[in-house]
Structures are given as C-alpha cells and as structure tokens.
Amino acid sequence: MTIQTDFSLKKYNTFGIEAKARQFVAVHSTAELKIVLQQNQNEKKFILGGGSNMLLTQDINALVIHIDLKGRKVLKEDDDFVWVESMAGENWHEFVLWTIQQNFGGLENMSLIPGNVGTTPVQNIGAYGTEIKDTFVSCEAMNIATQDMKTFSKEECHFGYRESIFKHEAKDQFIITSVVFRLTKRNHKINTSYGDITKELEKQNVTTPTLKDVSNAVIAIRQSKLPDPKELGNSGSFFKNPIIPKVDYDKIHAHHPNMPHYVVSETQVKVPAGWLIEQAGFKGKRFGDAGIHKNQALVLVNYGNATGQEILAVSRDIQATILKEFGIAIEAEVNVI
C-alpha cells in the first residue's frame, strides 16, 4: 500500500479524462482502509470507486483513495432466497454475471452497467424496469472520521430515482465497503415489461425467458445503444430524466404528440432527456473531442482528448437549449468534480 503523488486518473475514470490526483492510494481490505484514514486524518480525501459516474474538470487536490476491496459470498439461504454479499471493489457486471451463473435472480435487468458494486447504492442504479433497491438488503460503510463500521438498512438508505442518503445527509461521511442483496433461488420474477426487452426476446425467438436470456437481451440492447467505455469514453446517462408537472407536460405534448413519457403520479410525468436532446438537434454532434452519442443522446462522449471542461461546456449548452425550447431544466446525473 503505497501513496503515489501526481498520479494520472485517466485509467480510473470511464470518461478517460486526463486529470491528476495530488496523492493516490489503492486499498485492498477494510484494515488497509482504516490505516489510511487514521494516518491521514487532516488530509482532504476523495473516494474513488469504479470512476464510472463522474466528470473530472480539474486535478484533484486531495488524497484519492481507490476502493479496491474484492470478494463475494453467500451469507445465508432458505428454500426461496439467497443473501449474497459483494465487496465494494467488485466490478458490477462481473458480479451480475456470477449471480446469473448460480441461477440467482433479481439483478439480470441491470447487466452491463459500468462501475463497481460499492457505488451502486449511492445513486440506486437502475435499468429496464429494475433498480437495486428492489433486491438491496443492506450495506456496510466505514465512517471516514471515526473509522467505525455502520450497517445501513434499506430503509436508512432513503432510495429514490437515482437518489440515496449517500448523496445527501451521509455525503462525504462514509465509504461503502460491501453490499448485501437478497436474490431469488426459484420462482424468479422475470421482468420484461420494458418494451425494448420484449422486442429483443421476440427477435431471438425466446418465449419463456430464463435469467440468462433476459441478461443477454439487456446486453444486446445496451451494446446497440450505449458506447463501450473501453472504446469511447463516457459515463452512461449524463443527465437524469426530468420529472415535470403534468400541466407542463400537457402543454408540450400538444405540440409534440409523439413525445415518450412515463406517468409518475397523478400530477407528475417523467420525460426522457434523451428524446429532448435529440429534438433539440444535438444527437451525434461533435465539438472537438467532446460529443453526444449517435445512438443515445443522453450519453456524452470523449472521442480521445476532450478535457472535462470541454464536456462540461457541451452539457451546459444542452441544458440551456432544452430550457429555452421546452422550459425544462435537466439536471446532471454524473458527479461533476
């Protein structure tokens, strides 16, 4: 465990942005994490997981602690369910594939989401009709100031759409070290309600899908729409889908009858930001090395040497245009550092 200085973070963020950490250390156990925190009480710290949900717009003038805790195990099981624990540094997709191999159900719709297990509760990741809160039991976290461990139950996490306590009251106070999920062993709740999945399964002539079939369908959809960060730097959806008052939606809908939407409540409607961005003419556009992906306008991309500032400028241009054209304020989902 060595602390390095002026360390390039290019390989540690999926946008592939060149930015430096004043100091950098990777920890491989909770014991190591405790020592690093104890020995650097007065240092400014920055916690880095899989680097898949952040845009670096500047060097980080802090001690960057990369959480590289590995391991996964079955904690307990009954006839119907299994409780599985994964350490925070496990790659999310590899973990999902492992659960499917064991025939454990619940995570298959979230196949191929980039990032590590430890950051999944922070923004309650989700895709194709499922969110981690649906199978989440609890997570263990280390208090940065005291190094005490705390268990957060599902209720304590205050999960919402891409939201949790870790973005609010508990922000910058805890480091998630492991997460427990309760998965099905039988009577799997196969969820193909999301239109794209049904279409993909029909294309593959699958009528009674298994966990593996659903996972494969999700992988096929994601690969056709979303760029692979190893080939083209990106952070998945850059913006959240805005939730707007139904009265506002009705006004926009009158001009745009084809506008997709999801009813959230009697008074609120969620609108796909990707659709708004496409309507505003940004899809596939490129500004230097920063751009908007050609197959999914919600994803901003780095064609090679874009700086974080350049990508941020594109995102602000998009936000201002959407506000002007539709009167809707769209919010970044990615953490801008």
Which residues would be at the binding site for ligand EPU (CB under 6 A)? 127-128, 196, 225, 236-237, 240-241, 260, 272, 274-275, 278, 283, 296-298, 333
Angle (CA) 103-133-13 rounded to 5° is 90
Q: Which position among 86, 178, 235, 237 bears the catalytic label? A: 237
The verdict on whether 215 is a catalytic residue reads no
For tokens 């009674």, the residue is 208
CB of 32 to ligand EPU, least distance (A): 30
The verdict on whether 193 is a catalytic residue reads no
Written as one letter, the residue type at 143 is N
77: its two tokens = 């099981």
Q: Which position among 131, 162, 222, 310 bears the catalytic label? A: 162
The string of DSSP letters for 59-112 reads: -EEEEEEEE----EEEEEE-SSEEEEEEETTSBHHHHHHHHHHTT-BSSGGGTT
The CA distance from 300 to 309, in Å, is 13
Nearer to ligand EPU, 62 or 243 (CB): 243
Nearer to ligand EPU, 66 or 240 (CB): 240
Nearer to ligand EPU, 150 or 225 (CB): 225
DSSP H helical segments within the chain, as ranges?
A: 30-39, 92-101, 195-203, 211-225, 246-255, 273-279, 308-326
CB atoms near residue 211 (< 10 Å) = 24
The verdict on whether 237 is a catalytic residue reads yes
| Residues designated catalytic | 162, 237, 333
